[in-house]
Structure 1
Amino acid sequence: MGEALALASALCFGVTHFVNGLVARRSDGITVALHAQLAGTAVAVAAAFASSSGGGAAGDYWFGALSGIGTGVGTAFLYRAMGQGQMSVVVPVSDVGAVALPVLAGVALLGERPAAVAWAGIAVAVPALWLVAQAGGPGTGRHGAGPAGPVTAGVPAALAASAGFGVQFLAMAQVGADGGLWPVVVSRVASVAVIAAVLALYRSPVTLPGRLTAVAGAGGAVGTMAILLYLAATRHQLMAVATVLSALYPAVPVLLALAFLRERLTRRQTAGLVCATAAVSLIALR
């Protein structure tokens, strides 16, 4: 059950990043992140009112807020990165901290002990992420640029996003089983506040064209579904395992770009997707 929830979370994360990555190519990425999280907040509020679960303890709300800070940093800088560089590069780069921080914290601080077969799956996921991140040859970047330009332009922002997503996963996993969904609402509100601050720092515009606002909002709604699924997964599975499975989302934008944008996979990216499949299988066996 936990594995299925985490993989569904990965699918939703991948879809939202693909959709909003496309919007970020036509408008400011930080502005896209703001509108996505505003819509995601509305979905979280509706889900919380519809849920019959309890309100949770004070600590659940603090962890929700901390997770939201990570979400705000992650989405703001990821969409900024996708406006600068190749989607197939910056999305997997943003995944490094998302995997490393929660897994290391789970093992070092929370006493989690994944089985040997799950460790093997986690180990396979590392080269999978690296391989999927490999850019194609010359001419595959934006505006006809080779791989060096897009990687250099997008990677610093993607690394900042990486740290944010790591905090997002780590903190959300600490929300108790009786915490209900209101900590997720707090998380979404905190993410909006952080993105608003980043938007002011970079003097990004506040508004998007009407059609792009709707698309970004739809992507943000799917993103909230992703975090809700991840939260449910952590209540059925070790955080280290749930995080690695959820963090396989970079494979989704690659496959969607292949299907809808007519992009071509390199041999390394294909090998990375094979490794990702093997990682899922091994972790599921645990």
Structure 2
Amino acid sequence: MGPLLALASAVVYGVADVWGGLLSRRAGFASVALAGQLGGLALTLLAAPFVPAADPAVPDLAWGALSGVGTGLGMVFLYRGLSRGSMSVVVPVSAVNGLALPVLAGVVLLGDRPSPLAWLGVATAVPALWLVSRDRAGGGAGTSAATADALVAGLGIGVQYLALAQAGAEAGIWPVVTGRCAAVLAILPLLRTASRPDAENGRGLPPRLMPSAALTGGLAALALILYLLATRSQLVAVAVVLSSLYPAIPVILGVTLLGERLRRAQAAGLAGVVAAIALLTAG
């Protein structure tokens, strides 16, 4: 069940990521991120009472809050990178960077011991994620600033995954709720800076786009809930890798729904994703 939950998290997160990135090109990236986290908070508040939980301990909620800080910072920098750079640069850099931190911490600090097959799956997933997100320009359209944004976003995403995995099962999904609160608080100072008239992409969020941005955040919160449940029946290192396969989703959606052609690099990347999933689930 753990691998299936992690894969479901990747699918939902991939849809939310692309949706939020597209919105950030039409409105202020920080405003989109804030509205998304508020939408995620609403969803988790509605869902939390229906998930069995004992009295959540303070450390569990604290881990959730730390995860939310990573989420808030990660989404702001991810959306800023997508608003001014190529998705083929921002998405794979943030995904691979966000994958590396939890996997290394899981092995070095938490005592995770993936099997040889799982290690092979990790090694396969990293280049596969890069290939599946490449465009015809080979990433040349991305600016150095967008790449820097992607690196910071990846660190935030890594903290999000690693911290949330430390919350105990008895806390239910209340750590995700506290995480959405912390994410909102983390974004607010950045919102003031990003909304200045002289700031890059200093636009706000038009009222007509607010429901869409909130729904995007709701999907991202659902992805985190699925990931949290996956970590309770799966090694953190494996759950993170499977959940981090979300860059494949934009390519799959483009081919199946928009009639886009699949290029050789993307086909090789998707084949690598499939191989990584098989190795990780078998390990």
- Length-normalised TM-score, structure 2: 0.93
For residues 259 and 17 of structure 2, the distance between their equivalents in structure 1, rounded to whole angstroms, comes to 18
For residues 206 and 152 of structure 1, the distance between their equivalents in structure 2, rounded to whole angstroms, comes to 22
Q: 1:250 aligns with which of 220, 235, 247?
A: 247
C-alpha displacement of 1:72: 0.5
Deviations along 1:210-233, one digit per CA (max 9) or x if unpaired, are: 231111111111111000000000
- Length-normalised TM-score, structure 1: 0.92
For residues 126 and 52 of structure 2, the distance between their equivalents in structure 1, rounded to whole angstroms, comes to 39
- Cα contact 1:80–1:157 (8 A) shared by 2: yes
C-alpha displacement of 1:267: 1.9
Bigger CA drift: 225-234 or 74-83? 74-83
For residues 152 and 260 of structure 1, the distance between their equivalents in structure 2, rounded to whole angstroms, comes to 32
Q: 1:7 aligns to what?
A: 7
C-alpha displacement of 1:53: 1.4
Q: 1:143 aligns to what?
A: none
C-alpha displacement of 1:88: 3.1
The amino acid across from 1:49 in the alignment is P
- Cα contact 2:27–2:204 (8 A) shared by 1: no
C-alpha displacement of 1:134: 2.6
Q: 1:199 aligns with which of 164, 179, 191?
A: 191
C-alpha displacement of 1:97: 2.3
Q: 1:144 aligns to what?
A: none
Deviations along 1:8-37, one digit per CA (max 9) or x if unpaired, are: 000011010011111111112121111111
Please list, as runs of the form range in 1=range in 2, the aligned pairs for 1:107-126 lying within 5 A after superposition.
Answer: 107-126=107-126
Aligned-residue sequence identity (percent) comes to 49
Are 2:218 and 1:226 aligned? no
Which consecutive residues of structure 2, in runs of 5 or more, have no partner in the other structure?
197-201
Q: 1:240 aligns to what?
A: 237
- SS of equivalent residue, structure 1 residue 83: helix
Q: 1:276 aligns to what?
A: 273
For residues 260 and 137 of structure 2, the distance between their equivalents in structure 1, rounded to whole angstroms, comes to 12
Q: 1:176 aligns to what?
A: 168
For residues 82 and 257 of structure 2, the distance between their equivalents in structure 1, rounded to whole angstroms, comes to 17
- Cα contact 2:67–2:163 (8 A) shared by 1: yes
Q: 1:156 aligns to what?
A: 148
RMSD: 1.8
The amino acid across from 1:162 in the alignment is G
